[in-house]
Amino acid sequence: MLTFLHTADWHLGQNFHGHDRHAEHRAFLDWLLDTLNREAIDALLIAGDIFDVVNPSLAAQRLLYDFILKAHTARPAMDIVMIAGNHDSGARIELPGPLLERLNTHAIGQLHYLDGAIDTDRLCVPLTDAAGRQAAWCVAIPFLRPSDVSGRGYSDYQAGARAVHDDIFARALARRAPDEALIAMGHAHLKGGSISEHSERPIVIGGEESLPASLFPEDIAYVAMGHLHKPQRVDHQDRIRYSGSPIPLDLSERHYARQVCIGKLDQGHLVHQRSIAIPDHTPMRRIGPASLPEVLAELDALEQDTAASPGWLDVQVMLEGPCLSLRADIDARLTGKPWRLVAIQVHYPRSDKQAPPSPRLEDTTPAALFEATWTHHYGSAPDATVLADFHALAQAVHDSEDPA
């Protein structure tokens, strides 16, 4: 029997309205370490977006590597497998690989080709159970950038991704013994997956960024996915799951469940799975949109300082006109209360002829800003071809920030 834990989308180093999230991430990692011990985990699977940006801060990197060292010290026989997501630099994830291997940790950041063929050996990681017997293989596929699949005879990204998965899984299935299970780990948007309002960056090309769940053959016992921040199964299959992110990365995610997924494998099959809720370390709340008296009344009703960590607070106020004392009125009601004000959004009444207020940059995405600008300039929304070109360009710019 092999017990594994699936988690993803940590986004270490995230900046939230000018504030770091180190305390929240540290609390999660401390809880995760306790959970690994309590549940006697044999394999820890981290399905991408480990960092929030391709050039993470030293503090963010220290969070990751301190955790890995503590986890290995506590459970030296436990296998740790992590892959790069679209927010990560594949090269950076792999850079400390030789050192991490001494900690029983396998870091897969990007595909490598040998003589024109994918080097599948480095993607197939053996997993051992508590008795030291090899019980499974983890087929770890990092986020596939267009450059990973283009220029190799494939007609488009979808076809290329299909061919890459087919090749890797065929080799993995041929390698395993009859009583060994296969776990696939990936970072992508699978068709039918539910995304949040702002946080998950669109992958690859316009509306064609999502991949079909049929990429994963029935022979695969469990598919550990990353990218979508809301915990969910895919295509009505319990074996294909997104664990979700451990902390809310945007106000639109404040009501999401927070969890890790745990599964048990025996004789090549998934025999049990469940989720464990992650404690809410730092609350996130939005007040409004409401009139100023209603907003101030809600602020007055907020509890006094009892939380271990101050929560994040977004306030949306509906005004008839400018209110010079607005910020002072709000700040006065938050004095001594466990809340950090991250934003005040003001809504004014308007006629149909008035243009809507411009969104704040931190509250929108590049794609939404592009669509709004295009519509304002040309009088209609951009078509699918234009959006596809924009998303391809945006991904290219993001990839160019990768130090590799």
Query: Model confidence over 336-351: pLDDT tens digits?
Result: 899 999 999 998 886 5
Q: Say yes or no: 245 and 337 in one domain.
A: no
Say what the pLDDT of residue 105 is: 98
- DSSP β-ladder status, 105-108 and 79-83: parallel
Residue 360 is part of which domain span? 284-400
Q: Say yes or no: 382 and 237 in one domain.
A: no
CATH number, domain with residue 192: 3.60.21.10
For residue 106, give the H/E element and its range. Answer: strand 105-108
Say what the pLDDT of residue 205 is: 43
Q: Say yes or no: 368 and 257 in one domain.
A: no
Q: Say yes or no: 360 and 247 in one domain.
A: no
300-322 burial, b for 16+ CB within 10 Å, e for fewer?
eeeeeeeeeebbbbbbebbeeee
- DSSP β-ladder status, 19-20 and 15-16: antiparallel
Q: Which residue has the higher pLDDT, 153 or 262?
A: 262
Domain boundary among 209, 243, 277: 277
pLDDT in tens, 208-231: 568 899 999 999 999 999 999 999
Domain boundary among 251, 277, 303: 277
Domain boundary among 277, 306, 335: 277
Is the pLDDT assigned to residue 200 strictly greater than 60? no
pLDDT in tens, 348-367: 886 544 555 555 555 567 77
Torsion of the alpha carbons at 353, 357, 358 and 363, rounded to the nearest 10: -140
Say what the pLDDT of residue 149 is: 77
Q: Say yes or no: 107 and 254 in one domain.
A: yes
pLDDT in tens, 247-303: 999 988 999 999 999 999 999 999 999 999 999 989 899 999 999 999 999 999 987
Q: Say yes or no: 234 and 294 in one domain.
A: no
Tell me, what DSSP letter sits at residue 303? -
Region 389-401: mean pLDDT is: 71
Region 31-54: mean pLDDT is: 97
Q: Say yes or no: 234 and 309 in one domain.
A: no
Q: How many structural domains is the chain composed of?
A: 2
Q: Say yes or no: 257 and 110 in one domain.
A: yes
Say what the pLDDT of residue 403 is: 54
Strand segments, DSSP code E, in 121-242 are 124-128, 134-140, 181-187, 222-226, 232-234, 237-242
Q: Say yes or no: 203 and 324 in one domain.
A: no
In Å, how far are 132, 138, 260, 307, 383 from 126, measured between CA atoms? Answer: 11, 6, 22, 43, 46
Q: Say yes or no: 85 and 228 in one domain.
A: yes
The model's pTM is 0.84
Q: Which residue has the higher pLDDT, 1 or 386?
A: 1
Strand ranges across the sheet with 259-266: 105-108, 79-83, 43-47, 2-7, 259-266, 269-277
